[in-house]
Amino acid sequence: EAFNANVAAAADLNAFVIATPEKAIEAAEKVDADRAAGKPLGSMAGVPIGMKDLFATRGVQTTAASHILESFVPEYESTVSQKLWDAGAGMLGKLNMDQFAMGSSNETSYFSNVISPWRRNDGGNAPLAPGGSSGGSSAAVAARLCPAATGTDTGGSIRQPAAFTGITGIKPTYGRCSRWGIVAFASSLDQAGPMARDVTDCAIMLGAMAGFDPKDSTSLDLPVPDWAGSLDSDLRGKKVGIPREYRMDGMDAEIARSWDDGVAWLKDAGAEVVEISLPHTKYALPAYYIIAPAEASSNLARYDGVRYGLRDLPQGANLQDMYAATRAAGFGDEVKRRILIGTYVLSAGFYDAYYTQAMKVRTLIRNDFEKAFEECDVILAPTAPSAAFALGEKVDDPISMYLNDVFAVPASLAGLPAMSVPAGLSSAGLPLGLQIIGKAFDEQGVLNAGLAIE
Ligand code: GLN
């Protein structure tokens, strides 16, 4: 009964692209069998999780919320999802998302938008965006349809939806989680991570997802620390950096207040708070919106009507016609916009002016962080410049949509671990998130600071 009620609630939110309850039940039954046989249980034993529909799942439709991959059923399993099954988790279903993970509101999905379970308490009853691109994941966890879900984060897609829905999500250091079997968006930025109710659940789930994978050439060959077993909210002796440049002109007063609250909570936990400088912050967003589309335009060239999913072969068409017809019908507007931007900035005449320039900026951003971390252990900042906005509010204005990623993309460009934790409510009763950015490989420091805040 409870299960059917959850399925109905899931339908209302449009959080799932496809439900696979039989797989979750199978995992639960395996727990019973293993327990009866006296076998040890994995860290995720029996936990029914949602899987962002960007992870290839063997025998189960993997769409990236696109029309072009609508009929794609992989014959292989992504490394990260396989690790979760090996740890005992079961799959409740594949979660809706922005198409090819491009978006900040889940409104670019071919399967229509996800609706946040939250509502404003000040009379404005418009349905709200769950954030994006992992909007199915955030809505499903926030609505308690599942205790945890996978997300991916290229430029904020775990952290911003977590902030919009009052849950916790961590993007680990680039390379911690294998990208093998995850539909590629921007390969030098893409990272998988957990989205769950709290820091402890994220630590447990990240432990199951991370680890070296020879099938991903950028995978980190490092042991996976026992993050969950080493959680400690005592921050005595730790320094927290507050980046001056993130306090932007016209910053929303409620965001500024929640940031101040975070500073106070971390001081209560024993941390020393210092001001730091990340001087190139204002160039991060424009650099991201050159680099990410450039890589996307290259990655998405493989969807040509020959190898995967949709094929549109008009009568009498030649190969070029088939490519054009398939891609015209198969990609949504935002995906096409990214491909156009990407091919433009990579084209011979503009490569130096845009792509090379953006890559130089990326180095400056990385250096900014390296210098800042000489003076502090973690950095505290807002996750997003606003609480959740209404569905439809930004959908016709890509620039204002992109601006919502302003605090998320610097850590992505630098490849650093970053987490969003819930940090109180706005005056309209909507969740606000605070972001903790850590040194490369220091997920523990990030999780511990998050624990002190939650
Ligand atoms: N919102 C950002 C974009 O649209 C980030 C997306 C992501 O992290 N996948 O590119």
CB 7 within 8 A of CB 24: no
- Quick check: is 71 catalytic? no
Q: What is the pLDDT of residues 97-111, one digit of tens each?
A: 999 999 999 999 999
The C-alpha atoms of residue 108 and residue 66 are separated, in whole angstroms, by 9
* pLDDT, average across residues 344-355: 96
Nearest-angstrom CA–CA distance, 52 and 353:
36
Please state the separation of Cα 322 from the chain's center in Å: 33
Nearest-atom index, ligand 1, CA of 189: 8
Residue nearest atom 10 of ligand 1, based on CA coordinates? 102
Amino acid present at 315: Q
- Report the nearest atom of ligand 1 relative to the CA of 401: 1
The predicted model gives 241-259 an average pLDDT of: 93
| CB distance 334 to ligand 1 below 6 Å | no
H or E stretch at 431: strand 431-438
Across the chain, which distance is largest between two alpha carbons, in Å? 72
Distance from the alpha carbon of residue 430 to the mean position of ligand 1, in angstroms: 22
Determine whether the shortest distance from the Cβ of 103 to ligand 1 is under 6 A: yes
User: For 15-71, what is each residue's pLDDT tens digit?
Assistant: 999 999 999 999 999 999 999 999 999 999 999 999 999 999 999 999 999 999 999
Q: Average the pLDDT over each of 6-15, 163-172, 363-372 and give the range with the smallest value.
A: 6-15
**What pLDDT is stored for residue 58 in this prediction?**
98
pLDDT tens digits, one per residue of 181-220: 999 999 999 999 999 999 999 999 999 999 999 999 999 9
The catalytic residue among 81, 104, 109, 157 is 157
CA of 302 to the centre of ligand 1 (A): 20
390, exposed or middle or buried, with CB in 10 Å at 0-12, 13-18, 19+? Answer: middle
Which of 66, 99, 105, 157 maximizes ligand 1 atoms within 8 Å of its Cβ, making it the mutation to test the pocket? 157
Band of residue 8 on the pLDDT scale cut at 50, 70, 90: low
Which residue is it, tokens 């999905």?
A: 109
Distance 136 CA to ligand 1 centre (A): 14
- Is-catalytic flag, 133? yes
Q: What is the pLDDT of residues 363-381, one digit of tens each?
A: 999 999 999 999 999 999 9
**Pairing state of beta strands 191-196 and 148-153?**
antiparallel
2-230: CATH, from 3.90.1300.10, 3.40.50.620, 3.40.605.10, 3.30.413.10: 3.90.1300.10
CA of 416 to the centre of ligand 1 (A): 16
The yes-or-no answer on residue 230 being catalytic is no
pLDDT of residue 125: 80
Report the run of H or E that residue 381 belongs to, with start and end: strand 378-382
Expressed in angstroms and rounded, the spacing between residue 310 Cα and the centre of ligand 1 is 24
Q: pTM higher than 0.90, yes or no?
A: yes
